[in-house]
């Protein structure tokens, strides 16, 4: 399963009400580091598809949710379990570091 796109409108249903943990990647088209980690997140999404949903939210098109969550720099990864924020990571990192961090949180 590839990454899922979420919006301010779908955030409640796709993330907060999800029965599976959801990692949201807050990104923007102009963000170089965001583009650098995108392929790694796709691969992790395919590898951990049974354990977690990986979602992407464009902060330029969706401003309410990032603002409510205090997202001030991107890329920002926020993990939700049962509608609650359980972990955050900011900045780009190699795939093995991203995956290791995520697996520790699950």
Q: Count of residues for the chain?
A: 106
Q: What angle do CA 69, 70, 75 make, to 5 degrees?
A: 90
Domains and CATH numbers, the chain: 4-84 (3.40.30.10)
Pick the catalytic residue from 34, 41, 59, 78. Answer: 34
Is 70 exceeded by the pLDDT of residue 1? no
Confidence of residue 42 (pLDDT cuts 50, 70, 90): very high
Q: Does residue 77 have an active-site annotation?
A: no
49 has a pLDDT exceeding 70: yes
User: What is the rounded CA–CA span in Å between residue 90 and residue 73?
Assistant: 7
Catalytic residue among 24, 31, 77, 93: 31
β-pairing, 84-90 vs 76-81, is antiparallel
pLDDT at 2: 80
19 in catalytic set: no
- Confidence class for position 40, pLDDT limits 50, 70, 90: very high
């Amino acid at each position: 399963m590839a990454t899922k796109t979420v919006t301010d409108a779908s955030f409640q249903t796709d993330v907060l009400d999800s029965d599976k943990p959801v990692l949201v990647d807050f990104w923007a088209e102009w963000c170089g580091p965001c583009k650098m980690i995108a392929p790694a997140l796709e691969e992790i999404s395919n590898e951990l598809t049974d354990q977690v949903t990986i979602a992407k939210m464009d902060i330029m098109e969706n401003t309410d949710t990032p603002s409510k969550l205090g997202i001030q720099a991107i890329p920002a990864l926020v993990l939700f379990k049962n509608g609650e924020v359980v972990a955050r990571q900011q900045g780009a990192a190699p795939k093995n570091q991203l995956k290791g961090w995520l697996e520790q949180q699950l």
